[in-house]
Chains A and B, each alone.
Chain A
Amino acid sequence: MSLSRNVVSFQPGETLTPTRLNRAWERLYKDMAQSTAKRLNRFPVRFDWTGLTNASTAEEFIFRIKAPWAYRVEYVEFVLFNATGTVTSVQFSTTLVNAQTVTVAPAGATTRALASAVMVASAAANTEIQFSIAVSAPAGYTLGRCYAIVHFVADRGNAGLSYTAPTVADAPRFASGETVDAAKLNTAFATYETTSTRNTAADRNLRIVLFSLRSIASPILASDADMRLPADANRIDSMDVVNLGSATNDVTGHVQSGGRVDVATATAAGSAFPPSKTQGHAVTNTQGSAPTAAGNDYFVAISRVGAGTIPLAYVVVYCS
């Protein structure tokens, strides 16, 4: 017989006092609150705007993310190394709810300029969110190295729902002399059952992976065409492909297993009115677990058809 962990053990024939009952509920509340506070999943995504000029189209400044689950952004780091021309500042912004902007001014050719912001910005599930920059420059310019590290927070326990911080219902209180109602107890236990189920489910690795290419010539060099995902037991759920190429310049996004073998592909055709998007394409594949073996890496890759230069194409992969 295992030892009870409950600080309060009710005995047969005992008068059920509100004090003891309240103590038991309070302990359960604290244990549940402490446990659920650890169910959040944090991960970074790097967005890159290196090489944009005053001649770049508006869409080239925008990345679009449409995750199948709700998430929050809590921190953004924005780095700019150089900008030839007349750049006075570059501003990062996003269409997340309650987002803040981050502005940086160039500091010199090889001198890092960094700005950052803490925020509590959120997105509901299946909502397209834009991550973009705006350049302030009275005349022509070319951006040097320019990227943002955006720190995401996701809650597996609330996957698919509007994001809320993990909350635990207040422990029920019984007043002195109050009749202990079984229905009130059942309701409270049922509420905690729901929280417990979410807490148990929140043990997976929610993550967004982004692979982007700019000024894509035809054909794409093999050395440029993909990005590695070390094998760490990712369950790859779905992918988006976004293409700013003109008509007939189609882009295909690939998720590939070891040896660059396709496990899923999705195509975004070129368009006279970019961006062309294919979002939420099912992948449903799980990696092995061997991040120290490069031979087991997965790949996120881009291929294309057509002869024209594609200003920007990217693949977004959603994992859990």
Chain B
Amino acid sequence: MALITLSGVIRSADLNNNFEDKISAIDTVNEEPGIRDVYYNFNCKALATTSTQDVTTLDFTASDFLQVITLGLSIWNPDATSRTALLTLSGIDVLGNALTTFLPNPPSVSVTGAAAAEFNAVRTNIGAQAIPMFLVKGLAYRLTLARTDANAGVITNAQAVLVARSFRRYL
């Protein structure tokens, strides 16, 4: 189907064709998922068991209505001492206090390194869960890095990333 140039006596079929052509184009677009992914990421150097909020968190507002796909956590461990990092996504209020109303089951991922190397956490496919998890546009969230072991020394660099996805039909 394509637009027909009208001239002279306008045929009803041509007029119907042109309207239907544009409506079909709209339908085709509306039926596409229109996936658009975004990242929220940050890193914490020298992640210690005593590291404080100022270096272990990233606060952000969801820029769209987003489905949480996965959390990514990578650490560079400096030596053979075993160290574990935990990355958590949680909801917060405007003052930065914890808020579980809109994200009642905060997802998290952890990784342990026991050598001088880079280690990647196994990324949970949050996007494939039976009940999808959404970030609501305009609400505030926090990514938090933490050490969950009690061993000495620091994780040289911990990198956190949240992959979230918007769908055209949900906008």
Interface of A with B (CB < 8 Å)?
Answer: 4-6, 8-14, 16, 24, 28, 31-32, 35, 37-44, 46, 75, 77, 79, 81-82, 109-110, 112, 114, 116, 144-145, 147, 149, 151, 180, 182, 185-186, 189-190, 192-193, 196, 199-200, 203, 205, 207, 209, 221-224, 227-230, 232-234, 291-294, 297
Contact = CB atoms under 8 A, between A and B. Distances in A.
Contact of A145 (B8, B27, B55, B169): B55
Nearest to A32: B26
| Across the A-B interface, the 8 shortest Cβ-Cβ residue pairs | A223-B76, A81-B54, A10-B12, A182-B6, A294-B120, A232-B37, A223-B157, A38-B171
Nearest to A295: B120
B93 to A, nearest CB: 11
B149 to A, nearest CB: 18
Contacts of B53: 81, 110, 112
Given A77-B60, A151-B63, A291-B123, A44 B38 contact: yes
Given A6-B16, A8-B19, A114 B25 contact: no
A110 B52 CA distance: 7
B166 A4 contact: no
Contacts of B74: 228, 294
A75 B63 CA distance: 9
Interface of B: 3, 5-8, 10-13, 15-16, 18-20, 22-30, 32, 34-43, 45, 52-55, 58-61, 63-64, 69-70, 72, 74, 76, 96, 118, 120-121, 123-125, 127, 156-157, 159, 161, 163, 165-166, 168-169, 171
Given A112-B96, A205-B35, 5 more contacts: A6-B16, A13-B12, A185-B10, A227-B159, A230-B163
B129 to A, nearest CB: 12
Contact of B118 (A24, A77, A114, A223): A223
Contact of B27 (A5, A16, A42, A186): A5
B63 A44 contact: yes
16 contacts: A5-B27, A12-B13, A32-B22, A35-B30, A38-B168, A42-B63, A110-B52, A112-B96, A114-B96, A144-B54, A182-B10, A196-B25, A200-B28, A222-B118, A227-B43, A297-B72
B40 A44 contact: yes
Given A44-B40, A294-B74, A5 B6 contact: no
A230 B3 contact: no
Nearest to B158: A223
Contact of B23 (A28, A46, A144, A221): A28
A235 to B, nearest CB: 12
A109 B54 contact: yes
A203 B60 contact: no
Contacts of B30: 35, 38
Nearest to B34: A203
A193 B53 CA distance: 53
Contacts of B76: 222-223
B10 A294 contact: no
A223 B156 contact: yes
A18 B9 CA distance: 16
B25 A75 contact: no
B35 A6 contact: no
B3 A190 contact: yes
A24 B168 CA distance: 26
Contacts of A46: 40-42, 58
Contacts of A205: 35-37
B29 A203 contact: yes
A149 B61 contact: yes
A229 B161 CA distance: 8
Contacts of B58: 46, 147
Contact of A292 (B12, B18, B24, B70): B70
Contacts of B36: 41-43, 205
A220 to B, nearest CB: 12
B29 A35 contact: yes
A291 B70 contact: yes
A289 to B, nearest CB: 9
Nearest to B119: A294
